[in-house]
Amino acid sequence: MTGEDRPDDVRAEAERHIAEHSLGEAARIGRLSRIREFVLGAQDGLLVPLGVVTGMAAAHPARSLIIVAGLAEAVAGAISMGGGSFLASQAEEQLYATEIASEGREIDEFPERETAELAVVLEREGLSRERAETVARGLASNSNVFLRTKVQKELGLSPDAGGAALGDAVVVGATYLGAAIVPLWPYFLFSLNRALVVSVACTLLALFSVGAAKGRVTRLSLRRAGFQVMIVGAVSAGVGFAIGHLVTALAG
């Protein structure tokens, strides 16, 4: 701190930094988490229906049967993915809430022990024993701050986590349903053989885009991430086509 800096100036600067940077970073990370749900729904929404309609096309049924099977899978898959995401997130949130509540009860029942535990944690992180005990006692003077610190330091949990289960489920389910249209729409417009080619091509292109988006979020190579997801899609289409041919041959 220079001679011209006053404690109030430093405090004001810190508050501005938190408002402009730290809180913004938290919001950015939250958006990235939602993008993860989007990518999950899109990837599965492309892969699974592609395998279904490709397998059906290889079996050469009526085009209407392929469309019905694809639509049924799209709706059922969207409900399953959305519901699964909701139940998993809800279970995780309930677990976090239970652990935080348990930690709160321990603080109420054994305040001295809990303060000593926090001091030990701080000492292990690099503070001297005397400084760690001083800091722990200072934090323990405010029950809310003490609980939040204990939850973060000892349980490794964020006290603000949770509340996103429904939003995540809607994103996953809606994205799955929207993505499922990509491998299915050609069968509404083209003959069976042409629809199969267009469906596979469009889906592989969409999968590459989803992989590239995943790579951008995770800061990996966009091309490599795109090709990885596209290869999985190609395998899915190949397996579906092979199964359709095999079943047709055996049934014939």
User: Alpha helix (H) ranges present in 125-190?
Assistant: 129-140, 143-150, 165-184, 186-189
Query: Taking the CA atoms of the chain, what radius of gyration do you get in angstroms?
Result: 27
CB 175, CB 41: distance < 8 Å:
yes
φ and ψ at 13, to 5 degrees?
A: -65, -40
CB 118, CB 133: distance < 8 Å:
no
C-alpha distances (whole Å) from 240 to each of 62, 76, 178, 235, 237 are 17, 18, 21, 8, 5
Q: Can you give the pLDDT at residue 1?
A: 45
φ and ψ at 25, to 5 degrees?
A: -65, -40
- Pick the more confident residue, 161 or 242: 242
Judged by phi (left if over 0) then psi (alpha if -120 to 50, else beta), residue 240 lies in alpha
What helix, strand, coil percent values describe the chain, rounded to 5?
Answer: 85, 0, 15
CB 61, CB 151: distance < 8 Å:
no
163-174: average pLDDT = 84
Query: What pLDDT digit, counting tens, does each position of 5-47 carry?
Result: 556 677 676 666 656 555 555 555 555 666 778 888 888 899 8
Query: What pLDDT digit, counting tens, does each position of 236-247 carry?
Result: 888 888 888 787
Q: Which two tokens stand for residue 88?
A: 């998993």
Query: What pLDDT digit, counting tens, does each position of 75-91 carry?
Result: 999 999 999 889 988 88
Q: Lowest-pLDDT range, 53-57, 85-89, 215-219, 242-246?
A: 215-219
Q: Which residues of 189-217 are buried (b: 16+ CB within 10 A; e: fewer)?
A: eeeeeebbebbbebbbebbbbbbbbbbeb
Rounded to two decimals, what is the model's pTM? 0.74
